[in-house]
Amino acid sequence: MSDDIATLGSESPARQPLVAPRVLAIANQKGGVGKTTTAINLGTALAATGEFVLIIDGDPQGNASTGLGIDRRNRRFSTYDVLAGEAAIRDAALPTAVPNLHLLPSTMDLYGLELEISQARDRAYRLRDALRHINDGPGVPYTYVLIDCPPALNLLTLNAMAAANAILVPLQCEFFALEGLSQLLKTVDQVKETLNPGLAIHGIVLTMFDARNNLSNQVVADVREFMGKKVYDTVIPRNVRVSEAPSYGKPVLVYDLKCPGSEAYLRLATEVIQREKELKLLEPGQTAS
């Protein structure tokens, strides 16, 4: 992986537009840790606070698209078309049933993209370049872009990391959690060295927490000891309503606003916004909004 990443760093970083959204890649190479669930429900919670949010479904399985109720027949353009250079994000993004929340849907075509662009010099920067002009022209400017990454450290995930300001890592409260986290952090360091020097870990959100399970409590303690303040205070509980909601094509905040899962994602959105304000205070020439 390190050699592959190094070969992708030949292109110089692009200048960012004057008005740019904050881009967060939701990534973990392990499957089943809550990436898509977090993308859908954090995006919904941010939109509920008045932010204008775009979710990019970067997984060929298209679970974020299905979980937001976007029928496959309505996905005229997709993430594939954007990365292939055949559509602009604003033209391909679709409104969802959630006010202020748009989605760039995914299709199975994404499975073939890696092979199609494997020899292109800009293969790791396709998404970054597509996002450069996302807020140009008419329309309400996006303030947040959340990228739902596939469960692999492949070219699609590298595109997300090259385009992102920061990585948000969902981490399931299970035995091998720290082992997988170590590999992801190593990859992030490699991406910073070659593709995106400004990339940072925004935070780690612990998911599928069961307070009755001693192992869950031990994982929480271990991750907090290992990563310190990078771990969000909010922990997402294991909650049947969170699991049920995608089958109805709804975020859990729409499906059942008062369930523990919904309340947790609202708290997470508050933490994300607060961390963004703190980051802006640290940036030269900027102040918190």
The CATH number linked to 71 is 3.40.50.300
Q: Is residue 176 part of a domain?
A: yes
Q: Are 173 and 205 in contact (CB under 8 A)?
A: no
pLDDT at 149 over 70: yes
Q: Is residue 12 part of a domain?
A: no
Task: Tell me how many domains the chain contains.
Answer: 1
- Tokens describing residue 44: 């919904």
Q: Are 205 and 268 in contact (CB under 8 A)?
A: yes
- Of 77, 76, 78, 84, nearest to 126 by C-alpha is 84
Average pLDDT estimate for 94-112: 94
pLDDT at 1 over 70: no
- Tokens describing residue 173: 């409260």
Q: Are 182 and 223 in contact (CB under 8 A)?
A: no
What per-residue confidence (pLDDT) applies to 6? Answer: 55
Q: Is residue 283 part of a domain?
A: no
Q: Is residue 286 part of a domain?
A: no
Q: Which range (126-135, 161-170, 175-184, 280-289) has the least confidence? A: 280-289
Domain that holds residue 133: 2-7+19-277
Q: Is residue 288 part of a domain?
A: no
